[in-house]
Structures are given as structure tokens and as C-alpha cells.
Amino acid sequence: MPRKNNELQFSSLFRPSHVICQTEQTDRDTILMDLLRLLGYEHGIGNVEQAYRAVLERENDMPTVVGPGIAMPHARLEAIESIVVGVATSKKGVIYSRSCPDNPIKLIILTLVPKAAPGAYLQAISSLAKICQDPSTAEMVANLSTSGEVWSFFNKGRIILPDHLRASDIMEPVKVKLQEQDTLQRAIDLFVHYGLNELPVVDKDDELIGVVTTYELLRVCLPDYILWMEDLAPVLNFQPFAAILRKESKTWLAEIMTSEYATVQEDSPAVQVAKEITRQRADQAYVIRGRKLIGVVSLVTFLSKILRE
């Protein structure tokens, strides 16, 4: 398949000299410091101590274990103008995080991105998605004995950085959803249990058919004609809520389901998520394949991934 001229291979982001091969170190922080010093020497990344603190802060907050035996720590640095990558391998494996003691990390890909390059790290991680999903990748790379072989592994794999981030690159799995035959009772249960304000509703084929929000629920209980009254006495004891509660098991979701929500196709540019969220004044956008619901991007997730990761 012919390659486009502007395609960027992942292997072009680093050189064999940026690889620490089969390190004997078993301490995560020491390996990260070694990698940063190497990159500082080979490429120039500004203040190494500062970069180290930035990487650790991110890793301590949420370890970036992206696949079996693979971690992708990263930081955003003001001192660099393009993506800088360093790789470390360990045959024994490193206990990377207390939360994952059974997943020793054998391949560490440290990615440093310019501060003003939103989404650059996610582009890098997106390009590695396929190899990260393969459970043998970490083991295979850790067994390579030279830096050149490690670099060649990434080079031969033709791992291409995408032109832009797609919605599917920043989406998260849908934790909880409602079926079209569910009742209001189940919706209220889920709102309360998960502390959510919005729930997607899908049909038997998992296709998104609507959204139920706490605001709509409130509006059903307190319609405009009740809100007109200045005197709250008739609703002081939540009488309209009681009426709804009495019939919650009989009330189909269709009654409070809204068809106004933000959706994006999985292949849409990630910026489309921001556009749809803004246009629909929503808190989240649903990522769909055709009409099938495959993920969700909340505004908070979008901001943290694009502006902070």
C-alpha cells in the first residue's frame, strides 16, 4: 500500500541511542531518571530534574500501563519543540505500580511532548494501540539484545502516527447504559447508584436511541405549568415527585428520553467531539460506529486528555 508523504513513522521519533536495552534496574523511578538523563544528553530536553518531577507526578497520579507488560509514561515540557521518545526494556520486569503487582513491565516507552501540542501524546499512544494489545509484544522486545534491534522492531512494524486524533482515541468505555424496555424506576436507580447525570439508552442491537438526563427527569416532575406558580405550598412536600414515583415502574423511558444529545462517529476527528459538545450544550458526547454505541467522551475527559496528557 503506498504511503502518503506526510505520514510520520513512530520509529522516526527516536534513534537506537535513545534505547536502554535490557536494564538490570528494577526500580521504576531509577529507570525513568536514567531514560531522562539519556534523552537530555542525546537530544536536549531542558532541565532533567524538572522533567523527572513532571513524569513522576503523572505516573503517581495514574500509572500509564497501556498493555500487558507495557507502560507509556509521558510529560509535557516547555523546553522541547517536537516529540522526544526514549525506550527502556527489562528482561526481569519492573513492578511499575502497586496497583498492578501481577503485571511486571518489560517495555517502557517514555514520551515527552511539547507543552503547546495538545493531543500529541495521544497520537503517539494511538499509533502503538495495535502492538500494545498483543500480549507477546513486551516479552518479544525485552528479549532483543541490542538497541538497534529494538529500534528495528518499531521501524519494521511500520507504526504510523495518525494525522490527527480520532474520537475513538479519546473515548472511554460506557460504564452504564439503559435498555429501551427499561422503566423510569431503573433509570432513577442508576442515577442514584452511579452518581451520574446522564445515561444513554440503547436498543437490542446496542444502537443508541436516546439519552435520559436528571434534568429531564426533574422537568417531568416539575413542568412549566407548575413552575409558573409563585406560591410553593402545593408542591412543598414534593407532591409532583410522589405522583411520578407511584408510577415509576410503569413509566417507560421513552417518556423522559431526549433525542437531543451529542454524537460523533468513531473516525471523526477528536475536535469534532468538542464541537458537538459545544453545539448541543451537553456534558458529554457519545461515540458511535454507524448507530452502535461504542464509547463516551465527557467534557472533563476531553479537557484532561487534550490539554493535560
Partner 1 sequence: MDTDFSQDPIGWVESLKRAIEANKAIIKTSARVLIMLGVSAVVGLLAHSFGLNRQQVTSCSVFIMIIMSTLLFWQHRLAIAFVGIGALMGTNVLTLPMFVRECKLDVILFLIGMMVTVGVLKELGLFTWIIQSVIAIRRITGPMFVVIIVFLGAFMACAVDEVTSIVFIATLIFQVCDTLKVRPVPFIIIAVLGTNIGSSGTMLGNPVGILIGQNASPPLSFIDFLTWSFPIMLVTLSVSLIILMWYFRVEIRLLSERLAARRELGLGLGPLVQVPYKRGLAILVGTISFIALHHRIEQYLGLAPNTILIVAPLVIAGLLMLWRHQRSRHYIEADVEWWTLLFFMMLFAVAGTLQETRVTEEIAGYFQQAFGDRLSVLTPVIIGISAVGSAFVDNIVFVAAFMPIVNKLQQTPLLWALLQGTCLGGNITMIGSTANIVALGMLEKRYRTHVHFAEWLKVGAIVGVASCLLAWAGIAALSPFMPTVVQRQRKIAAHQEVRLTVSPAHGDLTKITDPNNSR
Q: Which residues contact 227 (CB under 8 A, 6 or more apart)?
A: none
Footprint of partner 1 on residues 87-116 (CB under 8 A)? Answer: none
- Contacts of 39-46 with CB under 8 Å at 24 or more apart are 39/84, 39/86, 39/110, 39/112, 42/15, 42/17, 42/18, 43/18, 43/80, 43/84, 44/79, 44/80, 45/77, 45/79, 45/80, 45/84, 45/112, 46/77, 46/78, 46/79, 46/80
> x/- string (CB under 8 A) for partner 1, residues 217-236?
---xxxxxxx-xxxx-xxx-
Footprint of partner 1 on residues 64-83 (CB under 8 A)? Answer: none
Closer of 121 and 261 to partner 1 (Cβ): 261
Shortest distance (Å) from residue 227 CB to partner 1: 9
Shortest distance (Å) from residue 240 CB to partner 1: 4
Member of 192, 218, 243, 307 binding partner 1 (CB under 8 A)? 243
Q: Which of 18, 43, 74, 164 is catalytic?
A: 74
Shortest distance (Å) from residue 245 CB to partner 1: 11
Closer of 53 and 279 to partner 1 (Cβ): 279
Shortest distance (Å) from residue 52 CB to partner 1: 50
d(CA 212, CA 257): 5
18 is catalytic: no
Q: Which residues contact 26 (CB under 8 A, 6 or more apart)?
A: 90, 92, 94, 95
Give the residues across from 31 on adjacent strands: none
φ and ψ at residue 89, rounded to 5 degrees: -120, 155
Closer of 142 and 202 to partner 1 (Cβ): 202
Closer of 73 and 210 to partner 1 (Cβ): 210
Q: Binding-site residue total for partner 1 (CB under 8 A)?
A: 24
Q: Is 275 exposed, middle or buried (0-12, 13-18, 19+ CB in 10 A)?
A: middle
Question: Hey, how many other C-beta atoms are within 10 angstroms of the C-beta on 70?
Answer: 24
Shortest distance (Å) from residue 194 CB to partner 1: 26
Pick the stretch among 3-11, 55-63, 101-109, 239-247 that binds partner 1 (CB under 8 A): 239-247
Question: Hey, how many other C-beta atoms are within 10 angstroms of the C-beta on 123?
Answer: 22
Closer of 116 and 233 to partner 1 (Cβ): 233
Closest to 211 measured CA to CA, from 272, 294, 286? 286
Binding site for partner 1 (CB under 8 A): 220-226, 228-231, 233-235, 239-240, 243-244, 247, 250-251, 254-255, 260
Active site residues: 74
